[in-house]
Structure 1
């Protein structure tokens, strides 16, 4: 068992206080957006097995089967197939979508053949993998996920009473659902930038007046307040209008949201545990100064209304609460542990990262509980468990378990 040393990523949208409060560290005054746990080469965790601090990426590369297990290596290759994060958003992230595996393979091969450097700002595909994600809320967490029904989107836009939005309202009413969503998103993203900036400004002013007039489904965020807030962060950005086409979701602590391929989404604010396949493939739709490749985006997006599926786990006989997803690169669950309960065995023929998010948890290794192999985890601390390594947990707090679905 290896306690992990993890890197904080200081993206501009990050909260200055949420991660320091969880980790028990002093705020720096700068945004602290994500804490990465895993072996991603961009910011790998580090471990110390007695010879000094070493990158987990290098540890796994030196003995893939020993660290990941033969099943994981056969299914996913010699790299840890998931990345675990603590994510703390104080302002909206970019509106984005991820390709499926076949789309990623074709897109990556095409950009490689055309000689586009991996670090080029207009590069879409950094690797040949898909990037499904799961976000579990630790605090109330707001986001956008999937297209709302066109008639609902039309009603929201119509209420803003902006002349330049009327053609979109007409399309959303008149065309078949998928065609309407495609046509409006394409029109918004390809409109003259100056004209669209003026439209966004007028729409934001109207949204400010309407904010508070209604809430979203299931008590979700007020869509007009969301429109006004995104416009404050991204004035004139076409993504402000594009975001009105999407469902607004509010997660309560413990609830989760799964984001599959082709589903447009954005995180708006809150603290959560995120797990994803080990990929950097992102196509942006707006709410960003970064490159937006509209033709490629329209090829990847799934233009169909969806109800955002909020996941609520149920405990099994061993008190493991699993968040069910349809992919096998990762498996996320949690334990809410209480004092006096016997240790829960977590042995598994796959690698694991265990993250404490509240209280104090003790990991018990091969030695009896209380022996030298015990590793305590306070909130915000995590540990890497190689495949087939004996491990049990006890304590008083919440533990998230990230592993591979073998």
Structure 2
């Protein structure tokens, strides 16, 4: 068995936490600076390193590139051009991220070709499409996790806007009330996100004052108004604050997940989560960030379908109810959660199904292969299982509780 522990990169973005990732990894708390993401995979920007028993390390990216069939399996290597198609992360969100969406495969390929022809350097800060691939993602809560995602049912949004009505807001509310469907949402979102700055500077304080009154009155949309106030405090002149009024406000509990396909407009607010996504950097931002914003390009890719966002809880397997799989239509990835309750030390067999990354978030576990090789996996640690490995069995070293997340390539056609 060539399964090996991974040493993973930490990304120090300003919106991150100074405690979550250091605590998970057993490092001193608090960290000197915010730590936002822990990356596990073969992303060219920050690949993991496999650590051999003798302490030597090798980039997982180099390992995959030197032996794509052995590491990924023939089918995966052929389909994804010798690339590991997914990236696994821990997200530690202390402050809201940008409002963003990701392109479909067709949109990404077209955008990449367009920017290549225009001669925009791939590492330029104004580059929207540094690669020609889609970027679907799934986020699974480890703690209570707060997000905005997808457009709320327009009839309910009209109720929200009327609950915080101001003289300046009425005309926009009635725009949606006259056409409470996806086309109406497109028209209103476009109007808000492209609003001239003088108009925005007059309207936004009105709306924030109305949200304050609604919160004081314990109104129906208390949570939505508190979120808008939080965003308005951080970004007092940003049209994204108004656009956020149109999105579903969600609270995920541990083990619950959101799947964000191409075009889904979303914004992570607070909490800790495991995220799995296609191995791509294509992000279209619409605001609430000092990073590059390209509203016209965002409008090209946003999906204005509306309604409640499905919350995934994982489908239990027929063979072993310790395993819950988060089913999506993403061909690049699949995420599963393996859990052992108190006093449970039973084994779970991980079939040879292409490349795998295992991440332990609770307890201590033992991995055993058919040849008798064993490796221990503790909280915060992750391992790489290449496709050529035989079946691996995993169980708690003593007994539960224990939890492992398993990332694999997708099974969709």
Q: Provide Cα deviations, 1:178-213, integer angstroms capped at 9, x if missing partner.
A: 221111111112112243134223322322332272
Which of 117, 142, 148 aligns to 1:138? It is 142
| 3-state SS, counterpart of residue 248 of structure 1 | strand
How far apart in 2 are the matches of 1:242 and 1:186? Answer: 9
Aligned to 1:35: 38
Aligned to 2:51: 48
Aligned to 1:375: 375
- Matching of residue 167 in structure 1 with residue 171 in structure 2: yes
Which of 183, 192, 207 aligns to 1:179? It is 183
How far apart in 2 are the matches of 1:304 and 1:14? Answer: 30
The answer for unaligned runs of 5 or more in structure 1 is none
Alignment of 1:74-93 (within 5 A): 74-93=78-97
Alignment of 1:1-400 (within 5 A): 1-26=3-28, 27-49=30-52, 50=54, 52-175=56-179, 177-211=181-215, 213-214=218-219, 222-316=223-317, 317-318=319-320, 319-338=322-341, 339=343, 341-368=345-372, 373-390=373-390, 391-395=392-396, 396=400, 397-400=402-405
**TM-score, normalisation: structure 2:** 0.92
| 3-state SS, counterpart of residue 169 of structure 2 | helix
The answer for unaligned runs of 5 or more in structure 2 is none
Q: 1:340 to 1:292 in 2, by over 3 A?
A: closer
Q: Provide Cα deviations, 1:31-72, integer angstroms capped at 9, x if missing partner.
A: 111100000011110113347221110111111111111010
Q: 1:74 to 1:287 in 2, by over 3 A?
A: same
| 3-state SS, counterpart of residue 190 of structure 2 | helix
**TM-score, normalisation: structure 1:** 0.94
How far apart in 2 are the matches of 1:137 and 1:268? Answer: 12
| Alignment length (residue pairs) | 398
Runs of 4+ in 1 over 3 A off after TM superposition: 338-342
Q: 1:23 to 1:214 in 2, by over 3 A?
A: farther
1:242 touches 1:286 (CA, 8 Å); kept in 2?
A: no
Q: Provide Cα deviations, 1:94-134, integer angstroms capped at 9, x if missing partner.
A: 11111110011111101101111112222211111111100
1:323 touches 1:333 (CA, 8 Å); kept in 2?
A: yes
| 3-state SS, counterpart of residue 236 of structure 1 | coil
How far apart in 1 are the matches of 2:308 and 2:344? Answer: 41
Q: Provide Cα deviations, 1:289-322, integer angstroms capped at 9, x if missing partner.
A: 2222222211111112121010011321223111
1:139 touches 1:252 (CA, 8 Å); kept in 2?
A: yes
Q: Provide Cα deviations, 1:308-338, integer angstroms capped at 9, x if missing partner.
A: 0100113212231111111221110011125
Q: 1:236 to 1:309 in 2, by over 3 A?
A: same
RMSD of equivalent CA atoms: 1.7
| 3-state SS, counterpart of residue 136 of structure 1 | strand
Tell me by how many angstroms 1:376 deviates: 1.3
